[in-house]
Structure 1
């Protein structure tokens, strides 16, 4: 049997009148009668008692009616779910992020905004090493990733900048450089640099100061980087958003003189994304004003 059979049975069971049921369905009474007869033939049971004056359900028909109601309700629910999924209103998104992307508040704001607009979408978030995130998007382990460019991405991925900020210097509080209100890149020549995951700021400071930075171990996350700075292990070039987010004894932050050294947050997605819900998240994100 098909859903059309269930709908025909339901119309007759609701109206207990073949002509009215046929009109409701937009078919002729003989066509409706044929549909009911097909159901009874398949089930090998009589569902209706029909006289010239009345139509009533048999005991088997009453039991069948309860099941048909549930079936049609579930079918309607399935249709509704499919339509909403097609519009990106329900589903699931896997988002990866580099820890430093959360300090600006951008990640939180975008997720909160999407959850408000699409409350039935499940969003799972996971922190990961930045150089692994684009490949995880490409191979389907993640749908989206928040990263800090520059970073290499696979050919089947795209990257869009969402926020622009700048790099600043993090210094041990007892460093002689901490006495300066701001630092020229050349002032940091000879310093040992603690490298965060995004080393572009450090590289640019060295280029502008005309020196090759001596680097400490790659500490990874910004909390680890700032911790090493607080312990006097070196200086670090970090995004400005950490100034208000990471408060740690023994560390001071200073502006870098001259033209700002840009730091960005971007979102990585698949070039030909098929998921409506993921496309909805991508549409929501807006490039930062420059």
Structure 2
């Protein structure tokens, strides 16, 4: 097998087309350079140069080999720097899980921030509900989550990214829109309610039942995704409690009404990561995200 030293010798001769000048460029004498090229030709089984009294000319096979030799040398020279950058986390891949609702507003800003601050880190995106994100983080299927509380602080590091109001989505023209004041829980007790699933959207389910008494007979649908809920509201199937960021969806046939709650901004979204992660790119991304402002 040929060596990188042989490749450097070959490239020097190919570019100079003169063994003497190539040897001087490599800080060596001509005889060992000639022997190096002869050995390289034997090892790869082709003639790389035509030599006669008039000089040196590269063969067709030699010209093709020159392209690959330069590529191999460039890779060899860049490999140590690449390894060091990977070790520092300045290159690599971060896999981010996100809820559908978190994509409205927070995710684009987070991706833009990473692109500016750590541009050589690749980002892979996975849409998941919070429960799926927790499982993915524990098994290291993803590196970061945009998820809802609660979390186990022994397993996960977390940082609050957004705190926002809960509003009421109603079909356009609904009588509640005529009240011209923030809604109170008692305004909604008789309304058909599009509710969150107790298993796949537990965070929002618990949040809603903590705000307003939910009577089973009032629930017309139970689903897990905010987008589905808003589509059902637009179809006049009922009313629903959604985060204020849902207004960014721009779905026709829906109005969003303010709601009196305590606290005023009960909906939280957190950045979440496994404490035992060994991915250097994750730690570089976390350092970059320290300067991402909290939306409050």
Q: Report the CA distance shift for 1:201/1:71 in structure 2 as closer, same or farther (over 3 A).
A: closer
Number of paired residues?
A: 282
Q: Report the CA distance shift for 1:238/1:3 in structure 2 as closer, same or farther (over 3 A).
A: same
Q: Report the CA distance shift for 1:138/1:259 in structure 2 as closer, same or farther (over 3 A).
A: closer
CA distance in 2, matches of 1:265, 1:56: 69
CA distance in 2, matches of 1:214, 1:82: 64
Please state how far the C-alpha of 1:125 moved relative to its aligned partner.
3.4
Larger displacement relative to structure 2 (230-239 or 130-139) = 230-239
CA distance in 1, matches of 2:208, 2:110: 31
Q: If the length of structure 1 is used for normalisation, what is the TM-score? A: 0.71
Q: Report the CA distance shift for 1:274/1:127 in structure 2 as closer, same or farther (over 3 A).
A: same
CA distance in 2, matches of 1:129, 1:9: 57
Cross-structure match for 2:260: 256
Any residues of structure 2 matched to 1:271-286 within 5 Å, and which? 271-275=275-279, 279-285=283-289, 286=292
Cross-structure match for 2:132: 132
Cross-structure match for 1:3: 4
* Residue 73 in structure 1 maps to residue 79 in structure 2: no
Q: Deviations over 1:209-261 (max 9, x none)?
A: 6xx53353531111222344456655433211113434442644223255313
Cross-structure match for 1:167: 166
Larger displacement relative to structure 2 (62-71 or 110-119) = 110-119
Any residues of structure 2 matched to 1:208-247 within 5 Å, and which? 212-214=213-215, 216=219, 217-230=221-234, 235-247=239-251
Contact 1:223 1:246 (C-alpha < 8 Å) held by counterparts: no
Contact 2:164 2:268 (C-alpha < 8 Å) held by counterparts: yes
Please state how far the C-alpha of 1:109 moved relative to its aligned partner.
2.7
Contact 2:163 2:265 (C-alpha < 8 Å) held by counterparts: no
CA distance in 2, matches of 1:275, 1:106: 23
Larger displacement relative to structure 2 (177-186 or 67-76) = 177-186
Please state how far the C-alpha of 1:139 moved relative to its aligned partner.
3.2
Q: If the length of structure 2 is used for normalisation, what is the TM-score? A: 0.70
Cross-structure match for 1:150: 149
What secondary structure, in the 3-state scheme, does the structure 2 residue paired with 1:20 have?
helix
Contact 2:234 2:251 (C-alpha < 8 Å) held by counterparts: no
Contact 2:93 2:123 (C-alpha < 8 Å) held by counterparts: yes
Unpaired stretches in structure 1, ≥5 consecutive residues: none
Cross-structure match for 1:111: 111
What secondary structure, in the 3-state scheme, does the structure 1 residue paired with 2:149 have?
coil
Contact 1:192 1:233 (C-alpha < 8 Å) held by counterparts: yes
Q: Report the CA distance shift for 1:136/1:8 in structure 2 as closer, same or farther (over 3 A).
A: same
Q: Deviations over 1:149-198 (max 9, x none)?
A: 11446976543332232222334654558626113456556766533465
Larger relative contact order, structure 1 or 2 (CA cutoff 8 Å, min sep 6): 2
Cross-structure match for 1:35: 36
